[in-house]
Amino acid sequence: MASWCKLGLLLLLQSLSSSAAAAGSISLSVGESITGNRTLVSEGGKFELGFFSPAGDSNYYVGIWYKKIPVQTVIWVMNRDRPVSDPSSSELTLAPDGKLVLLLNENQQKRPVWSSASHARTSNGPVVAALLDSGNLVLRGRQPGNSSEVMWQSFEHPTDTLVPGGWVGLNKSSGAYQ
């Protein structure tokens, strides 16, 4: 009888850890996506990326916020100029070409709302999107010799909040501060 109780407890703990992992992944691989209430969580659990709606706003944005602070404190917003109305009909995905893309599903068609395409470098190998414990969302690609290169990162596109380790600099090509 005691062994059945232990087995039941073990199965319960396993299902709880599986559902927690499904709700908050550490990284996105090509073809994977975040939609609805699914999120990416940094490895140490400091930051979380997902869809959110600011108080008093009916629109949704993809952003990064401190995970352990009770009042949601957003540090970076992806689509601040192009919000979506429903996170369950939108998805943030890592496309086969290695670009991070926010898609809106309308009338059985997926329309891009935001993309890292105009900013990202290309990779010859597999690409992964990861949220770091610094709050930086990075796209990393494998290069010849099994080295990893950052192809795009949110810290190069700051919004209105700086975090330790973030930076603001002058883009010599565009003249814009980033």
pLDDT 10s digit of each residue in the chain, 178 long? 544 444 343 333 333 333 333 356 788 999 999 999 999 999 999 999 999 999 989 999 999 999 999 999 999 999 999 999 999 999 999 998 889 999 999 888 999 999 986 555 566 678 899 999 999 999 988 766 667 788 888 988 777 666 655 555 555 555 555 4
pTM of the model: 0.76
Q: What angle do CA 94, 79, 125 make, to 5 degrees?
A: 20
- Tokens 């109780």, located at residue: 5
Reduced to 3 states (helix: H, G, I; strand: E, B; else coil), residue 39 is: strand
- Cα within 13 Å of Cα(131), Cβ side: 25
CA–CA distance, 139 with 127 (Å, rounded to integer): 7
Q: Confirm if 37 and 90 have CB atoms less than 8 A apart.
A: no
CA distance 115 to 157: 12
Domains in the chain, CATH or no CATH each:
24-156 (2.90.10.10)
Buried residues in 58-90 as b, exposed as e (16+ CB within 10 A)? eebbbbbbbbeeeeeeebbbbbeeebbeebeeb
